[in-house]
Structure 1
Amino acid sequence: MLNISNNNEHGSTFLDRYNTVKSLAKRPHYKILNRIITIVSILALIGLFLPWTQNISGKGAVTTLKPNQRPQSIQSVISGRIEKWYVQEGDFVHKGDTILYISEIKEDYMDPNLVANTKNQLDAKKQALESYDSKVSALSIQIQAIQNEKLLKLEQAKNKIRQSLFKIESDSMDLIAVKTQLKIANTQFNRTVQLNKEGLKPLTDVEEKRLKLQEVEAKIITQENKLLTSKNELINAKVELNRIDAEYSEKTAKAKSDQFTALSSQYDTDAQVNKLKNQYANYSIRNGMYYIKAAQNGYINRALQAGIGETIKEGTPIATIMPSEYDIAVETYVNPLDLPLISKGAKVRIWFDGWPTIVFSGWPDISYGTFGGKIVAVENFISDNGKFRVLIAPDKDEASWPKQISIGSGAQTIALLNTVPVWFEIWRILNGFPPDYYQVQEKTSKSKEKK
């Protein structure tokens, strides 16, 4: 077996014989280098225990907080041909200022007197509507008059029926009286005949009583005829009552039929009037659409349709306008892994492209040129770039954002999370854990202990 220890000692003793080796071992800068390495190692070890603020970085652009404050396109509601521009790129316009004028290209609206002709048609239909209204009113009055006349005629016929009833009753009583008289005359005649046979009455008395009896019998026939005549008059009165009712019902039905016809024509004319009103309003509004106006105060950025005489369709963008007043914001995008850690109201540090900035992501307090913000909206669906969009507004508790930044310029963001040691952050990154991963677990465990 080899004696390794002796060999090493022999080798070390062998190198010590050379002066070069001795001079190298005695050089002072090697000692300084060893000290530097030692100090750097100690500082690095201490640095591993320094606090490090976990963060989620994102990249986006400057935008506006409200949708109506973002650059918008001016569109034409109707199709037409460009006739004249009243502005140029870079001009400031107020709300309602005319931007350009277009002319009509559809044959249905080319009549220059279209609005006036439609107004005349509307007035004519209104007059026809008033005529039908007057006719309906007149027919209503006529129907009421027929009803009143019918009531009078019916009352007259009913009175005639009552008169016939009274007359029948009177004739019936007269017939009873005549029958009584006949009975009396017959009794007197029989008594006179008996007395004549006994010789107490002369024959002239008998003849007189017979004559009176015949007169009473004749009265009975006359009275019966009068009673039958009264009954016939009652029947005629009832027939007349029915005839009057039928006659005036027919007149009322005809008048109501004419009234319903007039009402139908009135409703049809009313529908036509409403249709013409709609057309008149549409034509009037369409005439106002030939002048395309600014919807709000702002600057004309770019004219998208430039040529005079160029035809455009409805909904075609003509120019873009940038509102003069807006609330600035930043839209940034974060990875899906970091989305659960983003919440509304969270603090964010932002720095803008072209603005002097010194950024230490783990030590935001010593960074320079960053501005504070708060998350105001987090989208719940993924964007086309595979990330989630987050909208950030200025933090009112910190310094205001610079006014020199423009809409659309680039911006980078850092969402601040918990403060952990540097070694923990290095260990988290090497293992691929998301930020604040163990802090969430710690909170859940504490909540379980409290329960």
Structure 2
Amino acid sequence: MKLQSIDNIYHINRDSRVKRWFYIFLVFGIVVLFLPWTQNIKVRGNVSTLYQDQRPQQLNSPIPGKIIKWYVKNGDYVKKGDTIIQLTEVKDDYLDPLLLERTQEQVKAKKGVRSYYEAKVGATDSQLTALKASRELKISQLKVKIGQLNNKLAAEEAELIAADNELKLSEDQYNRQKKMYDDGLVSLTQFQQRSVSYQNALAKKTAAQNKLAQTRQEIVATNIEQNATIQDYTEKLSKTQGERYQSMGQIEGSTGDIAKLENQAANYKARKGLYFVLASQDGQVVQLNKAGIGEILKETESIGTIVPKKVDYAVEIYVKPVDLPLLKEGQRVMCIFDGFPAIVFSGWPNTSYGTFTGKLVAIENNISVNGLFKALVVEDKMQKPWPPQIKMGAGVQGIAILNDVPIWYELWRNINGFPPDYYVAKTETTTK
């Protein structure tokens, strides 16, 4: 007896379709092998920016101080120049509330001292001028006197010559008269008269010699006086000149002190402006790490961070050294941002969903501390814009797009461990 249930369960008499499906799948697999496949490199990275002034900036205390007032809290948005906190001094060198005014008074006093020495230099210059004029006048007087004495000396020398001639004549007459007296030709009275004449001529010559010697002594004394006058005025001028140089030195010293005090006053004035920590740019204040009033801040100590409001986002990706030769500037990179849903077909990027197109703009030549090379990717303005909700530091997955090849070639390449194709064919055009 034939059981119908056995035929319904085992289909013993039904024709097998396994061979048909095998050929169908074989043909389908062969067709798939010739479909295009886009070679790519998968990398990881994070959201950043190309510009340093758009990165998160630390808020630092420019001076050591004590917090006396907060103007913001975590998460507040501020504009450039808004006050973050107010500080007060903790160093004893700056505790005087009138420090700036007192320093300015010191500057004023130093300027007064400098003006005094400048006036003293002016008076010294006048004194030098007067001394030089007096010296010239005195020397001129002595030169006139010496000239007069020289003239007097010449006259006395002539007078001496005349007296000498007269003495010779009187002596000759006296000798002849004496001889005549000895011969008895003249009387004693005549002889005595001639003797008196001779004595007068001798006395006259002696007087002329004395006058000449006295005039010569006066000339020597006047020359000595002239030299003494020059020496005296030289000493006076040197002393006055020394006082002038001393005053000028005091002026220069006062000028240096004034510059130093003015520098201190400018520093004190600028320091007053540092009691308020201001926002360096528009953005959001985050990570405030000081609490309450009265906390002491050290110089350059971090208070918190300000995240810029306007950022031209870029993506920092890190590439293995083995993949580095496959990248070049201008290359297309598909970005998948953390927090944004995406369906990715790495071999068919155009069919992927939730990816955003970027363009490789720079590859750093220096390896990073993590052993990878950093590259920068910016938004491709010609493609779908990046989402405005992305934030600095968010994670990113990147897919660097390479050549389009058949699937069979990609399988063969992976089986053999060959690298992706990255050679760019160079075309040469010739003009005739």
The TM-score bracket by the shorter chain reads: 0.7 to 0.9
Offset, 1:241:
1.3
SS in 2 for 1:27: coil
Matched residues in 1 for 2:159 and 2:413: separation? Answer: 135
- Change in Cα spacing, 1:254 to 1:27, as seen in structure 2 (3 Å) is same
Matched residues in 1 for 2:416 and 2:144: separation? Answer: 117
SS in 2 for 1:303: coil
Partner in structure 2 of residue 280 of structure 1: 265
Q: Which amino acid aligns with 2:157?
A: S
Q: Which runs of 5+ in 2 are unaligned?
A: 1-6
Offset, 1:58:
1.6
Matched residues in 2 for 1:162 and 1:343: separation? Answer: 104
Partner in structure 2 of residue 339 of structure 1: 324
Partner in structure 2 of residue 5 of structure 1: none
For normalisation by structure 1, the TM-score amounts to 0.81
Matched residues in 1 for 2:47 and 2:63: separation? Answer: 34
Matched residues in 1 for 2:48 and 2:366: separation? Answer: 19
Partner in structure 2 of residue 30 of structure 1: 18
Deviations 1:333-359 (A, max 9, x none): 111222344344444332322334343
Q: 322, 342, 346: which one pairs with 2:307?
A: 322
Matched residues in 2 for 1:192 and 1:426: separation? Answer: 168
Contact 2:33 2:407 in 1 (8 A): no
Partner in structure 2 of residue 149 of structure 1: 134
Partner in structure 2 of residue 92 of structure 1: 77
Partner in structure 1 of residue 164 of structure 2: 179
Partner in structure 2 of residue 239 of structure 1: 224
Deviations 1:284-325 (A, max 9, x none): 222221111111222223322121222221112112211222
Matched residues in 2 for 1:55 and 1:159: separation? Answer: 114
Q: 55, 58, 66: which one pairs with 1:70?
A: 55
Offset, 1:206:
7.1
- Change in Cα spacing, 1:67 to 1:24, as seen in structure 2 (3 Å) is farther
Q: Which amino acid aligns with 2:258?
A: V
SS in 2 for 1:246: helix
Partner in structure 2 of residue 162 of structure 1: 147
Q: Verify: 1:46 aligned to 2:68, yes or no.
A: no
Contact 1:74 1:318 in 2 (8 A): yes
Q: Which amino acid aligns with 2:373?
A: F
Partner in structure 1 of residue 276 of structure 2: 291
| RMSD between aligned residues | 3.4
Partner in structure 1 of residue 97 of structure 2: 112
Contact 1:74 1:321 in 2 (8 A): yes
1:50-449 → structure 2 map (5 Å cutoff): 50=36, 52-186=37-171, 211-436=196-421, 439=423
SS in 1 for 2:287: strand
For normalisation by structure 2, the TM-score amounts to 0.84
Matched residues in 1 for 2:373 and 2:246: separation? Answer: 68
Matched residues in 1 for 2:123 and 2:78: separation? Answer: 60
Offset, 1:190:
6.7
Contact 2:330 2:360 in 1 (8 A): yes
Alignment length, in residue pairs?
A: 420
Contact 1:337 1:434 in 2 (8 A): no
Q: Which amino acid aligns with 1:101?
A: Q
Offset, 1:198:
11
Matched residues in 2 for 1:324 and 1:129: separation? Answer: 54
Q: Which runs of 5+ in 1 are unaligned?
A: 1-18
